[in-house]
């Protein structure tokens, strides 16, 4: 069985995505050389064209390492055919400005919508649906020039005003508003040009437009869809596939967009089916009922890679994803006491968690939001495993308050996740804490977290990449600071870090954030992750995702992947 369901707790989803992280936003973020816009003369970030190499000026950092792929060179792609893709969860809706998505929602979205920007093969951000995205000298004004001749699936023109409408919808959304919190005004200069005015320098603005966890606002939806009360059930974008039907908890079907502004997709139809249970996902793939699914289970990936070598399946590995983590609601007892939070983290022996997931040698311990090999990582006072120390802290709390350390511990219904929780539960019991396991469907858990109706939960998709992707999660007053922990020091550092494009200056600010988090312990960090897309042998091309000019792009970040270049061999 697989552990990929852990990723279903992600919500950078747009913030929630947001939550990050995902992916992540995308993860990595170890190449600060991609930062080109600070106090230096502005650099225009234009879409690659056939006459020149891709422009790597991003106004932000390289947040995603290029994915690994094991697929052999494919023969010439052929049009036609349909596939079934298994998702790890169902989404509540498909409005990118208002519906929080995790991996499943993003993978549907990448067929219907196009993002304004995307990652090239090196992990740098370049324009995608936009033709160019250009900052002024101090990154207080950005100019977005959109491509001409692009239309939404309903015939509406994609133009500067459409981008304005999308941004304004996100800015008015309680879910997405903090992704664009520094925008002070929007000015349509002409049919294809939008000027974005910032309230302060924002050197990393471009990274918010790639359409992933923590940057969902990058997807462009038709204005008519955004205006419709049921638009989130009938999504309309500019993407390579057109929405056909959605039967919640059963299937969502998209058909090839024959009028796509790039080369039309090869596949005629894609059916997405939610399988919240990882065992059921894997069984459906083995039975041939599913043509593709993604997993983060290390043992599964090792087995599939061996099958890939034998030509039995194809595997595309993404860049390292946001870490596994535990999140505490710091406003409810006993989690409002830092001694309790610290004790719960100290009581977790992560090597036992790695053994449970067959992750020894694959997963790595992590002592904060960024891996030890990340450019952004700094050593902090984050506690190591210390069972006796954890017992002492809990005993101290109980002696002072007269109350036991007992709380609800939420996670998904997947059997793997429940077993994972039970292992952590046993560790906490050794330290003198009682955790009551609560299993919730992802949409329910996300809703509970947003409303602050939780105590402790498995979570993810924070950390791992560019720290600005975590702005809405770590800073107070954003609406997406789900731990409810507030710190003036963190607020000031997060603000300063996004105001400059200089990597060393930014690292100094994020060092403050990491130390403050280590002292306050609103999160427990459990280990790094890696995800892969597994497909049947006849399904090719996922690893061959291309940018509009035909140069290679990055096909997969975290658990999100493109399908416009996928095809079936006869």
Strand duo 269-274 + 82-87: pairing: parallel
Q: Is the pLDDT of residue 372 over 50?
A: yes
pLDDT band for position 151 (50/70/90)? very high
State residue 85 phi and psi, 5-degree precision.
Answer: -115, 130
* 39, 31 Cβ separation under 8 angstroms: no
Q: Is the pLDDT of residue 315 over 70?
A: yes
Q: Is the pLDDT of residue 65 over 60?
A: no
Hey, CA dihedral for 349, 355, 360, 366, is it positive or negative? negative
* 156, 224 Cβ separation under 8 angstroms: yes
Q: In the prediction, which pLDDT does 359 show?
A: 76
Neighbours of 358 (CB within 10 A): 17
Low-confidence winner among 62-66, 155-159, 345-349 (lowest mean pLDDT)? 62-66
Residue 361 region by backbone torsions, left for phi larger than 0, else alpha for psi between -120 and 50, else beta: left
Rounded Cα–Cα distance for residues 345 and 140 (Å): 40
Q: What is the CA 292 to chain-centroid distance, rounded? A: 20
Low-confidence winner among 63-67, 149-153, 362-366 (lowest mean pLDDT)? 63-67
Q: Which residues touch 167 (CB under 8 Å, ≥6 apart)?
A: 180, 183, 186, 196, 217
Beta bridge partner(s), residue 294? 533
Rounded Cα–Cα distance for residues 500 and 502 (Å): 6
Distances (CA, A) of 266 to 71, 115, 539, 541: 18, 20, 11, 10
> Which pLDDT tens digit goes with each residue over 491-524?
999 999 988 767 788 899 999 999 999 999 999 9
Evaluate the omega torsion of the peptide bond into residue 28 and state whether it is cis, within 30 degrees of 0: no
Over residues 33-39, mean pLDDT? 33
Q: Is the pLDDT of residue 34 over 50?
A: no
> Which pLDDT tens digit goes with each residue over 231-252?
999 999 999 999 999 999 999 9
Q: Which pair of tokens denotes residue 221?
A: 């939806």
Q: In the prediction, which pLDDT does 15 show?
A: 29
- Higher local confidence (pLDDT), 156 or 48: 156
Rounded Cα–Cα distance for residues 554 and 544 (Å): 8
In terms of DSSP H, where are the helices of 432-539?
Answer: 442-450, 471-474, 488-499, 503-520
Q: In the prediction, which pLDDT does 537 show?
A: 96
Q: In the prediction, which pLDDT does 102 show?
A: 83
pLDDT band for position 73 (50/70/90)? low
Q: Is the pLDDT of residue 225 over 70?
A: yes
* 209, 218 Cβ separation under 8 angstroms: yes
Q: Which pair of tokens denotes residue 459?
A: 């979570």
**DSSP three-state, residue 75:** coil
**DSSP three-state, residue 553:** strand
Q: Which residues touch 235 (CB under 8 Å, ≥6 apart)?
A: 94, 95, 109, 112, 113, 221, 225, 243
- Higher local confidence (pLDDT), 475 or 461: 475
Q: In the prediction, which pLDDT does 319 show?
A: 66
pTM of the predicted model, to two decimals? 0.69
Distances (CA, A) of 341 to 426, 446, 458, 483: 16, 21, 14, 12
Q: In the prediction, which pLDDT does 32 show?
A: 43
pLDDT band for position 196 (50/70/90)? very high
Mean predicted lDDT score pLDDT of the chain: 86
Neighbours of 40 (CB within 10 A): 12
Mean pLDDT: which of 58-67, 327-336, 362-371 is highest? 327-336
Over residues 300-320, mean pLDDT? 87
Place of tokens 């061959």: 544
State residue 490 phi and psi, 5-degree precision.
Answer: -65, -45
Hey, CA dihedral for 393, 395, 396, 398, is it positive or negative? positive
Q: In the prediction, which pLDDT does 287 show?
A: 96
Over residues 395-403, mean pLDDT? 98
Which stretch of DSSP H or E encloses residue 430?
helix 415-431
Q: Is the pLDDT of residue 132 over 80?
A: yes
Q: Which pair of tokens denotes residue 53?
A: 């190499």
In 3D, which of 80, 59, 22, 51 has the Cα closest to residue 323?
Answer: 22
Q: Which pair of tokens denotes residue 250?
A: 């059963």
* 46, 247 Cβ separation under 8 angstroms: no
> Which pLDDT tens digit goes with each residue over 265-297?
999 999 999 998 888 999 999 999 999 999 887
Over residues 3-9, mean pLDDT? 32
Q: Which residues touch 518 (CB under 8 Å, ≥6 apart)?
A: 367, 368, 380, 381, 382, 383
> Which pLDDT tens digit goes with each residue over 429-469?
999 999 999 999 988 999 999 999 999 999 987 888 789 88
* 66, 31 Cβ separation under 8 angstroms: no
Q: Which pair of tokens denotes residue 321?
A: 């994803």
Low-confidence winner among 58-67, 91-100, 175-184, 261-270 (lowest mean pLDDT)? 58-67
Q: In the prediction, which pLDDT does 238 show?
A: 98
Where does residue 151 rank: exposed (0-12), middle (13-18), buried (19+ CB within 10 A)?
middle
Report the Cα–Cα distance between both ends of the chain, in Å, rounded.
Answer: 30
Q: Is the pLDDT of residue 19 over 70?
A: no
Q: Which pair of tokens denotes residue 446?
A: 């996300």
* 405, 394 Cβ separation under 8 angstroms: yes
Q: Which residues touch 418 (CB under 8 Å, ≥6 apart)?
A: 411, 437, 439
Q: Is the pLDDT of residue 558 over 80?
A: no
Rounded to the nearest 10 degrees, what angle do helices 338-346 and 503-520 cross at?
Answer: 100
Mean pLDDT: which of 8-12, 111-115, 459-463 is highest? 111-115
Q: In the prediction, which pLDDT does 31 show?
A: 42
Which stretch of DSSP H or E encloses residue 146?
strand 141-146
In 3D, which of 353, 319, 300, 278 has the Cα closest to residue 525?
Answer: 353
Q: What is the CA 215 to chain-centroid distance, rounded? A: 8
Q: In the prediction, which pLDDT does 362 show?
A: 66
Over residues 364-383, mean pLDDT? 91
Q: Is the pLDDT of residue 560 over 60?
A: yes
Rounded Cα–Cα distance for residues 284 and 282 (Å): 5
Over residues 163-183, mean pLDDT? 93
pLDDT band for position 42 (50/70/90)? very low
Rounded to the nearest 10 degrees, what angle do helices 387-401 and 415-431 cross at?
Answer: 70
**DSSP three-state, residue 255:** strand
């Amino acid at each position: 069985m697989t552990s990929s369901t852990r990723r279903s707790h992600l919500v950078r989803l747009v913030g929630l995505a947001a939550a990050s992280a995902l992916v992540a936003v995308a993860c990595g973020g170890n190449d600060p050389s991609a930062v080109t816009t600070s106090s230096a003369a502005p650099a225009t970030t234009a879409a690659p064209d056939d006459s020149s190499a891709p422009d790597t000026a991003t106004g932000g950092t390289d947040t995603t390492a290029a994915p690994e792929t094991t697929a052999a060179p494919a023969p010439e792609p052929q049009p036609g055919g349909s596939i079934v893709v298994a998702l790890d969860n169902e989404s509540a809706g498909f409005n990118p400005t208002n519906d929080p998505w995790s991996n499943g929602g993003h993978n549907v979205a990448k067929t219907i919508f196009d993002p304004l920007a995307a990652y090239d093969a090196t992990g740098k951000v370049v324009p995608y649906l936009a033709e160019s995205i250009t900052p002024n000298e101090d990154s207080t004004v950005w100019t977005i020039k959109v491509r001409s001749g692009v239309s939404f699936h309903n015939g509406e023109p994609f133009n500067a005003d459409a981008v304005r409408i999308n941004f304004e919808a996100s800015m008015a959304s309680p879910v997405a508003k903090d992704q664009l919190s520094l925008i002070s005004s929007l000015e349509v200069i002409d049919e294809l040009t939008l000027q974005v005015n910032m309230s302060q320098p924002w050197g990393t603005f471009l990274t918010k437009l790639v359409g992933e966890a923590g940057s969902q606002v990058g997807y462009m939806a038709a204005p008519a869809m955004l205006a419709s009360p049921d638009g989130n059930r009938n999504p309309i974008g500019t993407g390579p596939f057109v929405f056909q039907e959605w039967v919640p908890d059963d299937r969502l079907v998209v058909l090839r967009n024959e009028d796509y502004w790039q080369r039309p997709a090869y596949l005629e139809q894609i059916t997405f089916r939610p399988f919240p249970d990882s065992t059921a996902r894997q069984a459906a793939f083995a039975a041939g009922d599913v043509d593709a699914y993604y997993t983060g289970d290390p043992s599964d990936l090792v087995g599939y890679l061996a099958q890939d070598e034998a030509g039995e399946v194809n595997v595309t590995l993404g860049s390292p994803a946001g870490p596994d983590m535990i999140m505490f609601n710091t406003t409810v007892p006993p989690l409002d006491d830092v001694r309790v939070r610290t004790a719960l983290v100290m009581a977790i022996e992560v090597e036992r968690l790695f053994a449970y997931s067959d992750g020894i040698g694959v997963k790595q311990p992590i002592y904060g939001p960024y891996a030890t090999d990340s450019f952004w990582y700094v050593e902090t006072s984050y506690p190591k495993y210390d069972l006796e120390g954890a017992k002492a802290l809990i005993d101290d709390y109980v002696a002072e308050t007269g109350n036991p350390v007992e709380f609800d511990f939420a996670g998904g219904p997947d059997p793997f996740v429940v077993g994972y929780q039970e292992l952590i539960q046993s560790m906490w019991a050794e330290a003198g804490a009682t955790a009551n396991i609560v299993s919730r469907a992802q949409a329910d858990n996300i809703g509970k977290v947003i409303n602050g109706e939780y105590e402790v939960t498995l979570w993810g998709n924070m950390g791992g990449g560019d720290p600005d992707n975590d702005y809405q999660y770590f800073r107070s007053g954003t609406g997406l600071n789900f731990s409810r922990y507030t710190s003036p020091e963190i607020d000031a550092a997060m603000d300063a870090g996004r105001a400059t494009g200089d990597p060393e200056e930014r690292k100094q600010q994020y060092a403050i954030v990491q130390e403050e988090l280590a002292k306050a312990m609103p999160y427990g960090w459990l280990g790094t992750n890696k995800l892969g897309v597994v497909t049947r042998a006849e399904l090719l091309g996922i690893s061959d995702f291309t940018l509009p000019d035909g140069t290679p792009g990055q096909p997969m970040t975290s658990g999100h992947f493109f399908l416009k270049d996928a095809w079936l061999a006869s």
